[in-house]
Amino acid sequence: MIEKEAVVIFVGDVVGPSGLRAVFAHLPAFAKKKKADIVIANGENAQRGFGIGKEEIEALVSSGVDVITSGNHVWERKDAEELLGSTSVLLRPANYPAPLPGRGYGVFKGRNHSWAVINLQGREDLYPIDCPFRTADEIIARVKREQPDAFIVIDFHAEAAEEKEALAWHVDGRASVLAGTHTHVQTADERILPLGTGYLTDLGMSGPLDSVIGVKTDICIQRSLTQIPIKMETSENEASVCGAVFTIDTATRKCLKIERFELK
């Protein structure tokens, strides 16, 4: 019997040890309950708030994560290039210039379906890297040519809501899902665009609740009061897991439903 719907769970930026613990505690049962075909999580802040390492990748995979996306902080650790070049489950934004190591997209086998997961990074208030719009065009065309059965989902790691919305409209009907990451604040603007792409500006943060986007509150307050770049440290408070569940029509590849969640 052919399933009429496929479910992808997208988990927002996992921050530090408390975020990893929360993912381990809550995600497996939730993914089973939702009958997820594939689970994707942004892990660029998993290693003490900045970057990701081998142990954090193993922790996410053991929690049921199938694909780990990232963003600008993935380069923070000294072994980042080696890790990106040797780990197939970890993606980095595809629009960083060549010949940097790692993959910007991959086709992954879910429980019953194939998924082309594309990782892109915005340029507004970030870095003037290659154009995410043109990069999206190139990768989507390649996937449709080489892996026509794969559902296309995009993690757009970007600062500006305007840029995220614009890219979602640009790929409407060509990707099943575009979800934003990076700001660590979950937005409430989930919607399905006219040609069927499911969109959410930001998935939110999977990290410590009593914090300033994952960082110790007293440090962030002092940084604001003094304007001195005091070293930021990840909070170790109790954490929640934020993200969204996207339900896809397997025949049309259109998004049918979007459900935001916070697990704690």
Catalogue the active-site residues.
Answer: 73
pLDDT, tens only, 174-200? 999 999 999 999 999 999 999 999 999
Task: Say if residue 1's pLDDT is above 60.
Answer: no
For the chain, percent of residues with pLDDT exceeding 90: 93
- Mean pLDDT for the chain overall: 96
**Domains of the chain and any CATH numbers:** 5-208+239-263 (3.60.21.10)
Candidates 83, 154, 81, 89; CA nearest to 119 is: 154
| Closest-CA residue to 171 (of 140, 203, 202) | 140
Whether the predicted pLDDT of 73 surpasses 90: yes
**What is the 8-class DSSP label of residue 211?**
S
Alpha-carbon distance of 114 to 104, in angstroms, equals: 17
Cis peptide before 99 (omega within 30 of 0): yes
| Other Cβ atoms closer than 10 A to 248 | 25
3-state class of 219 per DSSP? helix
Q: What does pTM read for this prediction?
A: 0.96
> pLDDT tens digits for 204-259?
999 999 999 999 999 999 999 999 999 999 998 899 999 999 999 999 999 999 99
How open is the CA angle 67-145-74, to the nearest 5 degrees?
Answer: 30
pLDDT, mean of residues 159-176: 98
- pLDDT digits 0-9 by tens, 141-153: 999 999 999 999 9
pLDDT digits (tens, 9 = 90+) for 19-48: 999 999 999 999 999 999 999 999 999 998
